[in-house]
Structure 1
Amino acid sequence: MDKDNRILGPEDYLEPACPLCEEPYGVTPAAKPVPQQRIIEKMDEYMSRRDYAGAERHLVYWLEEARLGKDLRGELMLRNELVGHYRKTGDKDKALAHGDRALELLKVLDFEKTLSAGTTFVNVATANSAFGGYERAAALFEKAREVYEEESGGYLENRPELLGGLYNNMALNYAAMKDYAKAHGLYDKAMAVMEKVPNGVLEQAITCLNRANAIEDEKGLEEGESSINALLDEAEQLLDTPSVPRNGYYAFVCEKCAPTFSYYGYFLTAEDLKRRAEEIYGRMAE
């Protein structure tokens, strides 16, 4: 007897495999997860340098890896990131296309009542609002609200920043729809919730400035002047809070707030905020 015949080779126990997918016929390939944490950390590096082109290449590369690896959770995360990226860069078509796919993935993954769903609804709603789709945005924000408020014992206590961000973005959308009563009610909620968040003063400052804009739209500059100035003063004090880390996010907020201060005639404050942002970005680039 030929002893070599007693040894099983792969051809004896493996099913015939598809040469393209390297899996046995009839077997669904296992998902190959992308490194989500590493992707986010690298994304933060790009954004700290305001390298939007690099950030886009990074996200698009890993999206393709997630698709090829059939990693639906990874794809959902990357679609969410791309919605935000294209919203910031003003690419409406790409932002909304990635948003639609992200909403589809929630259904495929049966995630529609999860934290991931709340995040996705907010991201896609914010993109729609940014490009004038206020009605669709309002419906998506309400879906996010259902997810977060149904779990208020968890999210309100452990992740209050989720509700704070939601209320602020919802308020912006309702203000754009001229529903100022709803907008101001949501701004009140946002301010209250962000008191529970470490360094939440930055989000509160943004809320004050958004509210100032809403008052101008609602009442006009002359009638709303005293309220607007009070909100600008409050925002300035919040941004000066000594305990807030002077990091990349602080620089981003300063940069985001400066134009509003300038618009209302707070030119020195606006210049100071731009200077702070540039100094931080400069240190981070060294």
Structure 2
Amino acid sequence: MQEKCSCSKEPIGTIPIVRVIDKIDEMFEKDDLQGAKRVLEYWEKEAKALNDTKGLLEVLSEQIGLYRKLGDKEKGLAAVDEALAILVCNGTCSSVGDATIYLNCATTMKAFGKAEEAIK
């Protein structure tokens, strides 16, 4: 899990997470899940390019829920693994947002048949 963590790198910029969330919320209202998926995948790449782990964690959290809704087990569990790696790299659960991401990860793991692993 640790090899996926980039939280020790200095960020060179940040993604506009409020705009990203607003955009995908608009798409969710129109039930445009594929459009939301494209937006999130684009901003995931941007966050990684900028070493923006906070923004990346927000994007991954949204992807985790979206992939669960789409039934995309492979991408959903990959997003869970990456989000958990970042949370572990950052240390203890330090915010309500972090706790929400842990809950989102556990819910997705359960949905994809990994309930036992989610408990750990």
Whether the TM-score (by the shorter chain) exceeds 0.5 is: yes
Amino acid at match of 2:93: E
2:100 maps to what in 1? 119
Deviations 1:32-83 (A, max 9, x none): 1101111111110000000011000000000111000110100111111111
2:83 maps to what in 1? 102
Matched, 1:135 2:100: no
Matched, 1:45 2:34: no
Pick from 3, 11, 14: which aligns with 1:33? Answer: 14
Alignment of 1:92-241 (within 5 A): 92-139=73-120
2:46 maps to what in 1? 65
Pick from 89, 103, 128: which aligns with 2:70? Answer: 89
TM-score by length of 1: 0.37
Q: Determine what percentage of the aligned residue pairs are the same residue.
A: 38
5+ long unaligned stretches in structure 2: 1-8
Query: C-alpha separation between the residues in 1 aligned to 2:58 and 2:52?
Result: 10
Kept in 2: contact 1:33–1:66 (CA 8 A): yes
Note the C-alpha offset of 1:111: 4.8
Q: Rate the CA distance shift 1:37–1:93 in 2: closer, same or farther, 3 A.
A: same
Query: C-alpha separation between the residues in 2 aligned to 1:124 and 1:29?
Result: 26
Q: Rate the CA distance shift 1:68–1:115 in 2: closer, same or farther, 3 A.
A: same
Query: C-alpha separation between the residues in 2 aligned to 1:101 and 1:62?
Result: 15
Query: C-alpha separation between the residues in 2 aligned to 1:134 and 1:46?
Result: 30
SS in 2 for 1:70: coil
Q: Rate the CA distance shift 1:109–1:138 in 2: closer, same or farther, 3 A.
A: closer
Amino acid at match of 2:46: E
Note the C-alpha offset of 1:31: 2.6
SS in 2 for 1:113: coil
Query: C-alpha separation between the residues in 2 aligned to 1:108 and 1:115?
Result: 17
Between Structure 1 and Structure 2, whose CA radius of gyration is higher?
Answer: 1
SS in 1 for 2:60: helix
Note the C-alpha offset of 1:109: 2.4
Alignment of 1:202-281 (within 5 A): none
1:76 maps to what in 2? 57
Query: C-alpha separation between the residues in 1 aligned to 2:27 and 2:68?
Result: 16
SS in 2 for 1:76: helix
Note the C-alpha offset of 1:137: 2.5
Note the C-alpha offset of 1:131: 1.2
Q: CA RMSD in A?
A: 1.5
Query: C-alpha separation between the residues in 2 aligned to 1:111 and 1:138?
Result: 17
